[in-house]
Structure 1
Amino acid sequence: MARPRGGDSVSRKKGGAKGRESRARQVYVYTEGEVTEPEYIDIIVRNGTWAEPGRTVQHHIANPNAEGKHRKPLRMVQDAVVTLRKVEREAKDAGLRQGKDWNWPQVWVLFDRDDHQGIPEALRLAEKEGVRVAYSHPCFELWRLLHYTNYTSTFGGVCGDANSKLRTRPGFAATYGRGVRTVTEQQSKHVREGQVLTPAAEDGLSRYRTARKHAQKINGGHSSPHPHAWDPYTDVWRFVECGLLLSGY
Structure 2
Amino acid sequence: MSKGDRAQDKRDRRRRDRSGASHALRRPPASYGDKSNRVVYVACEGSRTEPDYISLLNKTYGRDKSFRLKYCHPGHGNGLDPVETVQQTLKEAGPEDEKWALFDRDADDNRDRKIPDAMRLAADRGVQVALSHPSFELWLLLHFQHWTSQEHGHDEKVKDRLRRHRDAKGFKDYDKASGDRGKGLNDERGNALLGRETTAVRNARKLVKACPSGRCSADRIGKIQPIPAKGGEKYAEWTERTGHAAGCDPLKRDPSTDVWRLLASLGLGTVVEGRG
TM-score, normalised with respect to structure 2: 0.64
Q: For the residues of structure 1 that align with 2:128 and 2:205, how far apart are their CA atoms?
A: 18
Residues 86-165 of structure 1 aligned to structure 2 (within 5 Å): 87-88=94-95, 105-115=97-107, 116-117=111-112, 118-165=114-161
Matched, 1:175 2:170: yes
CA contact (8 A) 1:167 1:188 kept: no
Q: How many equivalent residue pairs? A: 198
Aligned twin of 1:217: 206
| 2:49 aligned to which of 27, 30, 36 | 36
Question: 5+ unaligned residues in a row in structure 1: which ranges?
Answer: 1-10, 89-103, 177-181, 199-206
Cα deviations by residue, 1:49-74 (Å, 9 ceiling, x for unpaired): 77xx8x72222211253353x60001
Identity across aligned pairs (percent)? 33
Cα deviations by residue, 1:140-195 (Å, 9 ceiling, x for unpaired): 000000101111111221122211111110032x437xxxxx41424351222222
Larger Rg: 2
Aligned twin of 1:82: 91
Q: For the residues of structure 1 that align with 2:126 and 2:160, how far apart are their CA atoms?
A: 35
RCO higher in structure (CA 8 A, sep ≥6): 1
Aligned twin of 1:3: none
Q: For the residues of structure 1 that align with 2:203 and 2:50, how far apart are their CA atoms?
A: 20
By how many angstroms is 1:23 displaced? Answer: 5.1
By how many angstroms is 1:83 displaced? Answer: 3.0
| 1:239 aligned to which of 262, 270, 273 | 262
By how many angstroms is 1:22 displaced? Answer: 5.3
Aligned twin of 1:228: 251
CA contact (8 A) 1:164 1:185 kept: no
RMSD: 2.6
Q: For the residues of structure 2 that align with 1:195 and 1:127, how far apart are their CA atoms?
A: 34
By how many angstroms is 1:32 displaced? Answer: 1.1
CA contact (8 A) 1:31 1:110 kept: yes
By how many angstroms is 1:223 displaced? Answer: 4.4
Q: For the residues of structure 2 that align with 1:155 and 1:195, how far apart are their CA atoms?
A: 25
By how many angstroms is 1:231 displaced? Answer: 0.9
Q: For the residues of structure 1 that align with 2:119 and 2:43, how far apart are their CA atoms?
A: 14
Matched residue of 1:136: which SS? strand
CA contact (8 A) 1:126 1:133 kept: yes
Aligned twin of 1:196: 193
Matched residue of 1:170: which SS? coil
Quick one: which amino acid aligns to residue 75 of structure 1? E
Q: For the residues of structure 2 that align with 1:82 and 1:111, how far apart are their CA atoms?
A: 17
By how many angstroms is 1:20 displaced? Answer: 4.5
Q: For the residues of structure 1 that align with 2:174 and 2:85, how far apart are their CA atoms?
A: 28
| 1:57 aligned to which of 53, 67, 70 | 67
Q: For the residues of structure 1 that align with 2:87 and 2:54, how far apart are their CA atoms?
A: 22
CA contact (8 A) 2:42 2:71 kept: yes
- CA 1:214–1:171 in structure 2 vs 1: closer, same or farther (change >3 Å)? closer
Matched residue of 1:28: which SS? strand
Aligned twin of 1:95: none
Matched residue of 1:157: which SS? coil
| 2:81 aligned to which of 53, 72, 81 | 72
